[in-house]
Amino acid sequence: MRLLHTMLRVGDLDRSIAFYTEVLGMRLLRRQDYPEGRFTLAFVGYGEESTQTVIELTHNWDTAAYDLGNGFGHIAVEVADAAAACDAVRAKGGKVTREAGPMKHGTTVIAFVEDPDGYKIEFIQKSH
């Protein structure tokens, strides 16, 4: 078994694809409209779905926004330098919600940013 994807419901698909591809550097792997169901699925990731876990962005055509609720935590992305990753997100208009620094009660360097729908993405700095 292997983890295939995480699904996020998004209000504006093009805006979300732009964030994940232009700000976080993922690639749009595939996108398909389902007119009968009035939704579109787009898959983004750093590698091919056959070998990597990806994110499924689901856009229901008749829903402009969602309540995030309190059950979902975050998506984690490994980065070489968390501070530099935050700077890059900020330079592209993204929102940094926690600057890079050691995690509480630990030494791992982490940071948090938000996508356009408010989903949290954690940057975890790779240990050298």
Architecture of domain 75-125: Roll (3.10)
pTM for the model stands at 0.90
* Annotated catalytic residue 114: no
Mean pLDDT across 49-69: 94
Cβ pair 8, 119 in contact under 8 A: yes
Instruction: DSSP letter for 23, please.
Output: I
Cβ pair 100, 90 in contact under 8 A: no
Cβ pair 73, 53 in contact under 8 A: no
DSSP states of 54-81: EEEEEEETT------TTT---EEEEES-
- 76 — pLDDT class (breaks 50, 70, 90): very high
- 95 — pLDDT class (breaks 50, 70, 90): very high
User: Domains of the chain: which residue ranges?
Assistant: 5-60, 75-125
User: Do 5-60 and 75-125 come out as alike in CATH topology?
Assistant: yes
Give me the CATH topology for the region 5-60: 2,3-Dihydroxybiphenyl 1,2-Dioxygenase; domain 1 (3.10.180)
Tell me which of 22, 49, 114, 122 is the catalytic residue.
122
Q: Which two tokens stand for residue 58?
A: 């689901």
For the cut 90, the answer to whether the pLDDT of residue 127 exceeds it is: no
